[in-house]
């Protein structure tokens, strides 16, 4: 894992990098749906969500990089998978299954909504500004995912089955969102304790799952470790695609 800068400023940078990587990796996944969504309205909506996430990622990476003189692009394009500190939930491939996309977005946006609501009152001015803007964006993402979870869960037999399968597939990665963050205790009043987000996030998601006539999955958690740079092959192939051109021609301006 990378250590941008030293001491407290370095810790804030690492914290921002984790949140920024979450947003960047999910933005990249959303981008895969544009021109491949089930209907045109969805190409637009998923594109909007991807753009919001990309905006959050850029602000957070820029801030993280400012600790040691790296740009957002240095961080996005010149780190290997083992230097990324996103949670594993966001790197999972959807494999073109819209139910997986909705299930992930439901969980992740519910988590982000709780996170940013608290981070908006962070003692760190930059983080609080990013969060204050993002909190409105993720409210829309969460609403969008909620509407689809209801339609798919309570639509047809097939969509019910697929939506349940989507939830089952993402659920093992939920735990990691709330895993203790080794930096957080050292950043009181700046970072948010992830453990605090579990109850409200799960309550929101379970409420939607119930209304959608679906069941909250009862599956064992997958191993986490994303924040520490332990990732799946899915991230490795995503980065190979994302970074290919930038790495092939280093040092130029695009």
For binding to another protein (CB under 8 A), which residues are involved?
A: 24, 28, 31-32, 34-44, 47-48, 50-51, 54-55, 57-58, 61, 72-73, 76-77, 96, 98, 150-152, 154-156, 158-159, 162, 238, 241-242, 244-246, 249, 252-254
When the beta carbons of 77 and 198 are compared against another protein, the nearer one is: 77
- H helix intervals, the chain: 7-31, 40-66, 72-77, 88-91, 98-119, 125-153, 157-170, 174-177, 195-211, 233-248
When the beta carbons of 41 and 125 are compared against another protein, the nearer one is: 41
Q: Which residues lie closer than 8 Å to 77 by C-beta, 6 or more apart?
A: 242, 243, 246, 247
Query: How far apart are CB 193 and another protein at their closest, in Å?
Result: 29
Query: How far apart are CB 120 and another protein at their closest, in Å?
Result: 23
Distance (Å, rounded) from C-alpha 217 to C-alpha 174? 11
Structure tokens at 42: 């969805």
Which 3 state secondary structure label does DSSP give 248?
A: helix
Distance (Å, rounded) from C-alpha 242 to C-alpha 236? 10
Query: How far apart are CB 32 and another protein at their closest, in Å?
Result: 7
Query: How far apart are CB 160 and another protein at their closest, in Å?
Result: 8
When the beta carbons of 8 and 247 are compared against another protein, the nearer one is: 247
Contact 189, 165 (CB under 8 A): no
When the beta carbons of 154 and 193 are compared against another protein, the nearer one is: 154
Query: How far apart are CB 97 and another protein at their closest, in Å?
Result: 8
């Amino acid at each position: 894992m990378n250590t941008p800068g030293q001491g407290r400023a370095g810790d804030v940078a690492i914290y921002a990098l984790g949140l920024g990587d979450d947003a960047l990796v999910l933005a990249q996944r959303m981008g895969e749906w544009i021109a491949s969504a089930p209907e045109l309205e969805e190409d637009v909506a998923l594109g909007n969500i991807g753009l919001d996430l990309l905006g959050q990622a850029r602000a957070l990476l820029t801030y993280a990089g400012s600790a040691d003189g790296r740009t957002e692009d240095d961080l996005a394009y010149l780190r290997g998978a083992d230097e990324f500190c996103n949670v594993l939930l966001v790197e999972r491939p959807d494999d073109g299954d819209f139910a997986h996309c909705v299930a992930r977005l439901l969980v992740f946006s519910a988590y982000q909504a709780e996170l940013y609501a608290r981070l908006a009152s962070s003692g760190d001015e930059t983080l609080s500004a990013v969060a204050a803007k993002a909190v409105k964006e993720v409210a829309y993402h969460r609403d969008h995912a909620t509407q689809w979870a209801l339609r798919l869960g309570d639509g047809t037999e097939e969509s019910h089955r697929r939506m349940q399968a989507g939830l089952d597939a993402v659920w093992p990665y939920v735990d990691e969102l709330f895993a203790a963050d080794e930096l957080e205790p050292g950043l009181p009043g700046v970072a948010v304790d992830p453990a605090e987000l579990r109850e409200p996030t799960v309550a929101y998601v379970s409420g939607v799952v119930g209304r959608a006539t679906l069941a909250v999955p009862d599956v064992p958690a997958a191993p986490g470790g994303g924040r520490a740079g332990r990732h799946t092959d899915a991230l490795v192939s995503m980065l190979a695609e994302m970074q290919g051109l930038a790495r092939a021609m280093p040092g130029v301006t695009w």
